[in-house]
Structure 1
Amino acid sequence: MAVNLNRVPVIREVACPRPTRVVSDASSLAGALRHVKGGDVIALEDGAYAGRFVATASGSPGSPIYLCGSPRAVLAGDGPRSGYVFHLDGGDHWRLVGFTIRNGQKGLVADSTVGSVFQGLTVEQIGDEAIHLRTHSTDNLVLANTVRHTGLRREKFGEGIYVGSAVSNWCRYTRCKPDRSDRNVIARNTVSFTTAEALDIKEGSSGGYVLDNTFDGSALRGADSWVDVKGNGWLVQGNRGTNSPGDGFQTHDVAKGWGQGNVFRRNVAEVHGPGHGFALRPVNDNVVMCDNVARGAARGLSNAQCVKPH
């Protein structure tokens, strides 16, 4: 699919309404999640919430469900080898805002969610990936989160933000069909100290946006770039990365028909490493605009000739 460069989404932060329920411990939070309905607003008091939390209810576009707290409200799992700290399992139109998720094998996993917003969260001290949109999760916004210290279980799986599923997992999650986690927006996040990619966009996912994020690859051990786009038709714009053991941004076509039609523009790649700022493998019809900047990239801006903006 072709990227329409004139239709970049306007992003607005959500504000949490007056709460309909206030919770102060893990038991009351788990109960609130079991009985929540569209339009409800759960507020987390500051403190520790130990356990694994699951939400399955759905809101609607006009009546989303809110779960809000400050960074001092901490959902803490059982350690980097055990479970998901927060699992949004099939629920649509959620607003998760402001709190901390810590100390699980995975931090926040969203399966089959539509129209949800994950904003201002701190996700840290995670065994594998911190935030994962999976199983046809579409039209969601991942906005202004702080993600750090992943890969404590296995460096290879320590992605910061992960969209979709690898082709090897399609039969597990999406009945052997591509995981169409489409049209998601990843914007204004700060991702650091991840052992694998800060952002991994899998084959099967199309039509998303990566806008104005900040990536630091100082801890990369299980990957060789901040961003790896294996889906189609993504716009990667206005991002800044520093420190990579390989390249800054990459594309790959690990499954037939994928890794195509992606556009990189107005990004700054402070690589300080041996690769390119933008490595397209293969080039296919992916595009690196000439308004991208690469510094400290031993092999230059890109392995593809850049395209001048209109």
Structure 2
Amino acid sequence: MRRIAIAAGAAVVLAVGITAVAHAAAPQLTATFGQTSTWSTGYGAQYVIRNTGDAPSTSWRVEFDLPAGSTVSSSWSSVRTVSGQHYTFTNAAYNGDVAPGASEDFGFNVSGLGTPVNCTVDGRPCAGGGSPSPSPSRSSSASPSASPSPSASTSAPPAGPVVDVSTAAQLQGALAAARPGQTIRLAAGTYRGSFVTTAAGTAAQRITLTGPASAILVNDGPSGTAPSCPAPTTGWDSGYGLWLYNAPYWNLTGFTVADSKKGVVADNSHHTTIDGVHVHDVEEEAVHFRRSSADSVIRNSRIERTGLVQAGYGEGVYIGSAGSNWGCHGNSGGADRSDRVQVIGNHIGPGVAAEAIDVKEGTFNGVIRGNTFDGQGISGANSADSWVDVKGIGYVIEDNTGTFRSPGTFANGYETHNPGTTPSFGNGCGSVWRGNRSDLGGAGDYAVNVTSTSKCSGNPNVVYASNTVTNAVRGLTNIAVTP
């Protein structure tokens, strides 16, 4: 009997050991497929990998097949290999660790409409369970959805993950969470609120905000107590329609900004590209490149009815900052160096209460080309009485068309000024005008009025004979014309 008792005790120990082995902590991964966007010839998608186990995973491997006629054209947040129609995605260096209850994801674009079949994660079915399905469960011709969303692209796939938004709250969330390579796509409709981002793209992976002209951003602010220098601050609404702050490498395309204090403001957001955007009915300036937002572009855009509350501050495009504001915006050696900004192919006016383009002191080497300026409605307030005021250095102003008709206050088509600043840059010097067509409507004195030649003796402004003028009180320019 004694030996039986010992054996029974051993059995208990053995049972406990077996139980411990059966419940050893281990990761359990699932992978869930979802489409993030669709278009007529393909779609964007992602897999979300979740750890439902009780131990962390240090790596993952997702495999699936695509039907014939569909291929993965690009992918991100993973390492991709392919053999025929079979695709394998392993984790990138930074997203292999998946803690219990946590998730990671990777994304890809597909050329074609077939969706993944035979999905496995670490050799097990993506939905969890024992063994993978032996045969395809979807037809190779199946469409990813009954019909594309109204805002879906109908041409090439977007270069990166796509976030579709249709409400102000969704847009605010997407702007806050934006990451390099991402596209935020606006559905048609009016978005009311404060829209600001501090997310930075990169040269290789820009961030895009895009939408149709019928997607309209409206900010009914400002409200709250403003900081001494403009910066996103809890409890303060700037009133800006869209504000990029420390957010370089953004593309802004297609949508509309209206009924706001300012339109689009880029602060310390270099390499911003604005393309095909419509800004209208704003209280002050429409577009402002500020705090050294250098190497930026605005093109193919339309600006109307600015300065509705402060006429003298209703510029169409404002490049840099006045020297008196460098205490806030002079973040490059004490100056606002919003250099090399290009303003190309835009239609600015009518109803722009200040200059169509105001080029501030301390900025260098921008390009103003191929624009149409309609000066009707310019106010004359705060010396705003020309299409373009150049206080910067080394600008190329060419192939623009400007007109003026009353009502409005109009002195000259283009003007230069030479404000003194510390540091000193030789402001208002070294720019060239060529191929511009100016109709001054019988009100303006000169197409190009150069305020001082003596202050620019070492770096003169140049007006070429290729410029033309009609209906001028005095003529083409007040300086010698260069053949």
How far off its partner does 1:274 sit? Answer: 3.4
How far off its partner does 1:113 sit? Answer: 1.1
In the TM superposition, 1:295-310 aligns within 5 A as 295-308=470-483
2:402 is aligned, of 241, 248, 251, to 241
Partner of 1:213: 371
Per mean C-alpha deviation after superposition, the further-off stretch among 22-31 and 217-226 is 217-226
In the TM superposition, 1:231-310 aligns within 5 A as 231-243=392-404, 245-255=410-420, 256=424, 257-272=426-441, 273-283=443-453, 284=456, 285-308=460-483
Per mean C-alpha deviation after superposition, the further-off stretch among 77-86 and 136-145 is 77-86
In the TM superposition, 1:45-60 aligns within 5 A as 45-60=187-202
Letter in 1 for 2:399: G
How far apart, CA to CA, are the structure 2 residues paired with 1:16 and 1:205?
37
How far apart, CA to CA, are the structure 2 residues paired with 1:85 and 1:258?
31
More RCO (CA 8 Å, sep 6+): 1
User: Does residue 1:189 correspond to 2:189, yes or no?
Assistant: no
Per mean C-alpha deviation after superposition, the further-off stretch among 87-96 and 235-244 is 235-244
User: Does residue 1:230 correspond to 2:391, yes or no?
Assistant: yes
The Cα offsets for residues 79-109 of structure 1, whole Å up to 9 and x where unpaired, read as 6996211100011110000000011110100
Partner of 1:61: 203
Q: Structure 1 stretches of 5 or more lacking a match?
A: 1-14
Letter in 1 for 2:466: D
Letter in 1 for 2:374: D
How far off its partner does 1:16 sit? Answer: 8.0
In the TM superposition, 1:93-112 aligns within 5 A as 93-112=249-268
How far off its partner does 1:17 sit? Answer: 2.0
Q: Is the 8 A contact 2:329 2:335 kept in 1?
A: no
Number of corresponding residues: 294
Partner of 1:34: 176
User: Does residue 1:143 correspond to 2:299, yes or no?
Assistant: yes
The Cα offsets for residues 135-194 of structure 1, whole Å up to 9 and x where unpaired, read as 011111111110000011111111000000001101121158221100111100100010
Aligned alpha-carbon RMSD (Å): 1.6
Q: Is the 8 A contact 1:108 1:130 kept in 2?
A: yes
How far apart, CA to CA, are the structure 2 residues paired with 1:154 and 1:80?
14
The Cα offsets for residues 19-47 of structure 1, whole Å up to 9 and x where unpaired, read as 61100010000000111100001100000
Q: Is the 8 A contact 1:83 1:106 kept in 2?
A: yes
SS in 2 for 1:28: helix
Question: Structure 2-normalised TM-score?
Answer: 0.59
SS in 1 for 2:325: helix
Q: Which has the larger Rg?
A: 2
How far apart, CA to CA, are the structure 1 residues paired with 2:478 and 2:221?
41
How far apart, CA to CA, are the structure 1 residues paired with 2:283 and 2:193?
15
How far off its partner does 1:299 sit? Answer: 1.0
Question: Structure 1-normalised TM-score?
Answer: 0.92
The Cα offsets for residues 184-242 of structure 1, whole Å up to 9 and x where unpaired, read as 11100100010100000000100110010000111011211000000000000110100
The Cα offsets for residues 37-95 of structure 1, whole Å up to 9 and x where unpaired, read as 00001100000100120011111111100100000000011069962111000111100
Partner of 2:118: none
Q: Is the 8 A contact 1:200 1:227 kept in 2?
A: yes
User: Does residue 1:85 correspond to 2:246, yes or no?
Assistant: no
